[in-house]
Amino acid sequence: MSISRVKFFTLKNFLDFLPITLFLLCVRIFDSRVTHDWKYPMLMAGIVALVLFIYYLYFRLKQNRIAFGINCYLLTGAAAFIFKLEWLGNIYVTSQ
C-alpha cells in the first residue's frame, strides 16, 4: 500500500466521524446539562453530516456503516429542529 493511499484512508476515517466529534465537542462547550438545549450542537453536526453525504455521493466513495448510521441520526435530528417536526423530536427525547 502506497503512502498516498494510507493518507487518503486516514483522512477519510477522520471525515467519517467528523459530525459526531463536532456534536460531542459542542455539547461539552455549550454545557447542555444546564440549558437543556441540544439545538445548536445538533444543527451544526447535521449540517456537517449533510455536506459529507453530498461529498461521498459526488465522489462515489463508500462510507463506514457505523459512521453512516450516526450521521443519519444527526441529520434527522437537525431536520427535526429546522422543520419543527415535533413527533420526530419526541422520538429523540424518549430514546435517551
DSSP letter string over 47-85? Answer: HHHHHHHHHHHHHT----HHHHHHHHHHHHHHHHHHTT-
Q: Which residue has better confidence, 64 or 11?
A: 64
Specify the residue for cell string 423530536: 89
Q: pLDDT (tens digit, 9 = 90+) per residue, 39-70? A: 888 899 999 999 999 999 998 988 889 999 99
Confidence class for position 84, pLDDT limits 50, 70, 90? confident
Whether the model clears a pTM of 0.85, i.e. scores above it, the answer is no
Mean pLDDT, residues 67-92 taken together: 88
